[in-house]
Structure 1
Amino acid sequence: MADLAPAHRDAYLELTRRRRLYGGLLLIIFVAMMAAGFRLAESRNAGGFIDGLPMLLAFPSEVLAEAWQKRANLPGLIVAHLPSLIETLNIAAVSTILGGLIAMILALLSTRGLARWPRLTGVFRRLMDALRAMPEIVIALVLIYILGGGPVPAVAAISLHTAGALGKLFSEVAENADLKPVEGLASVGGRWSQQVWLGVLPQVAPNWLSYALMRFEINLRASAILGFVGSGGIGYDLKLAMQWGGGRYDEVVAIFLLLFAAIVTIDRISDHARSRLVKG
């Protein structure tokens, strides 16, 4: 027994040294990649990043100064852009619902031990990977070229990306579910849909709803960003206001304040709802 203690101690010290070595190597590689990426970006930049640092706050200062001079206009501008904010909220909500429904189907079809067609599990997983890999703005630009501007391309783009992202999360939750109820339902002749509806969904519903609420927050921001490429909503109004430049910076600040207030409010509400769903 006395000989085992030094052996365990030496093995532990060797493992610790190896971890420190690997950690140091990874840190060196990370720093080298960051430095190389910065030098490449600096060489391709029209100006100079270092030379432009003193101007970093110049544009925000100009925007805030003009907005302060016209601060009396802010309440009216906020009210005027409320319809655009509602459109953005609708885009985010519809995208989350559609993407969530598709994600539920893909998750159930790609969950090991639960899939309806086990041989196709890999196919559905790769499909979710593909949907998750495509940025919303790329999909939106393609759909805008085909369908024209408006909220429909934004809804389709965000829904597809949401399906891939939520499908991955939903599948991981479903894989951790207890399959004993499913086995019991199967033993008495329950169909696959009944096994899922009665044996799996009651277990995963709180976490699925929690992830869906979190995704709604993300989709709200995404729908605002897609407005810059012509997908409607408050992002499009912000793009127009910034394109006009000086003279409309009070409108830019009003839109930012409205969007910020909406995001913070939804974040707080969804955080509270997720906490209630998961913790009870």
Structure 2
Amino acid sequence: MTDMSTASIQSNYMEMVRRKRLYGGAALSLFALVMVSGFMLADSRNAGGFWQGIPNIFDFPRDVWKDTLPKLDQLPSHFATYFPSLIETINIAAVSTLLGSMLAILLSLFATRGLAKYPALIGPVRRIMDILRAFPEIVIALVLIFILGGGPVPAMIAIAFHTAGSLGKLFSEVNENADLKPIEGLSSVGATWTQRMWLGVIPQVAPNYFSYAILRFEINIRASAILGFVGAGGIGYELKNAMSWGQGKYDDAAAIFILLFATIVVFDQLSSYVRDRLISKGGH
């Protein structure tokens, strides 16, 4: 009886393994087919063709290097020229991260089961967060630029909307792990919903909130630089102008590249350090 049972278990296991391999192979084949067909379609619609353009992929970096090498002594003055634009880009990212985080906290509290003031609104609020993060920042910024005109304000609003949707999802997941005992204690003494959230939930989840917000700030610096290409101001706008002028201005483009790269590295290291400190404190 035991041998038959063991053989049956082994047979069922091998059948399950074969089925998983079959499904995995079919999914991988479908993925490869979609990738190949999508690439062929994109290549057929690309001006000049992808394969014909591959030999020219290093032309722009080579032109930038050739234009910048004789003017290395001018790079410090270029850094000083474009530093205010870099500060504008950082300001856009900082303000949009702050506004988006505040909205994300509010949305997450209304979207968390067991914490929401109006349980019937949990589904609609979650769909709102889905919509906010479904549209890329550049799409929202293009619409706002058409309405409000160029400048940093459309970029700030666009990034803040996307940040609210992305962080709202993460914050709601953090809220679900909060201890409910402090909330129950506050409820027993007649605390309002706002007081329960402010005194019972926020102190527990604030370190995770801050960690995610710091990470998002780093992402938003890149986003604000990219939005400069569509007229949203900041260092991205200056980079677009420098590249549009072509040879003779590539030393300006190189200086902007270096400034932007150094900024992203600094904030990446800073955010990693802050997150590590928060995690280590949380562990103790």
TM score, norm. by length of structure 2? 0.96
Aligned to 1:241: 242
1:164 maps to amino acid? G
2:221 partner letter: L
The equivalent of 2:34 in structure 1 is 33
Q: Which residue of 2 aligns with 1:91?
A: 92
Tell me, in whole angstroms, the C-alpha distance in 1 between the residues paired with 2:165 and 2:18: 40
How has the CA–CA distance of structure 1 residues 105 and 47 changed in structure 2, closer, same or farther, with 3 Å as cutoff?
same
Partner of 1:219: 220
Alpha-carbon distance between aligned partners in 2 of 1:25 and 1:67, rounded to the nearest angstrom: 51
Cα distance, 1:134 vs structure 2:
1.1
Matched, 1:121 2:122: yes
Superimposed CA distance per residue, residues 191-223 of structure 1 (whole angstroms, 9 cap, x where no aligned partner): 111211222112211111111001001100000
- Could you tell me which runs of 5 or more consecutive residues in structure 2 were left unpaired when the two chains were aligned: none
Q: Which residue of 2 aligns with 1:268?
A: 269
Letter paired with 1:107? S
* 1:187 CA drift (Å): 2.3
Aligned residue identity for 1:146: I
- Distance (Å, rounded) in 2 between the aligned partners of 1:188 and 1:12: 56
User: What letter matches 1:14 in structure 2?
Assistant: E
Q: Does 1:230 align with 2:231?
A: yes
Classify 1:199/1:4 alpha carbon distance in 2 versus 1 (closer, same or farther; 3 Å).
Answer: farther
Inter-partner Cα distance in structure 2 for 1:5 and 1:187? 56
Letter in 2 for 1:229: V
Residue aligning to 2:188: 187
Partner of 1:204: 205
1:251 aligns with 2:252: yes
User: Aligned AA for 2:39?
Assistant: F
The secondary structure found in structure 2 opposite 1:206 is helix
- 1:97-176 equivalences under 5 Å are 97-176=98-177
SS state at 1:224 partner: helix
Unaligned runs of at least 5 residues, structure 1: none
C-alpha distance in structure 1 between counterparts of 2:238 and 2:220, whole Å? 18
Alpha-carbon distance between aligned partners in 2 of 1:255 and 1:47, rounded to the nearest angstrom: 30
Identity over the aligned pairs, expressed in percent?
Answer: 60
Q: Which amino acid aligns with 1:227?
A: G
Matched, 1:53 2:54: yes
Q: Structure 1, residues 87-128: CA drift from partner, whole Å, max 9, x if none?
A: 100000000000000000000001011101000111110100
Structure 2: how far apart are the matches of 1:158 and 1:20? Answer: 42
Letter in 1 for 2:147: I
Q: Deviations over 1:218-244 (max 9, x none)?
A: 100000001011111100100110110
Q: Distance in 2 between matches of 1:54 and 1:116?
A: 60
Question: Counterpart of 2:47 in 1: which secondary structure?
Answer: coil
Q: Letter of the aligned partner of 1:205 in structure 2?
A: A
TM-score (normalised: structure 1)? 0.97
Offset from partner CA, 1:126-182 (integer Å, 9 cap, x none): 100110111111111111111111111111110011000100000111112222221
The one-letter amino acid of 2:50's match is F
Structure 1 match to 2:67: 66
- The CA distance in 2 between the partners of 1:265 and 1:256, in whole Å, is 14
SS at match of 1:70: helix
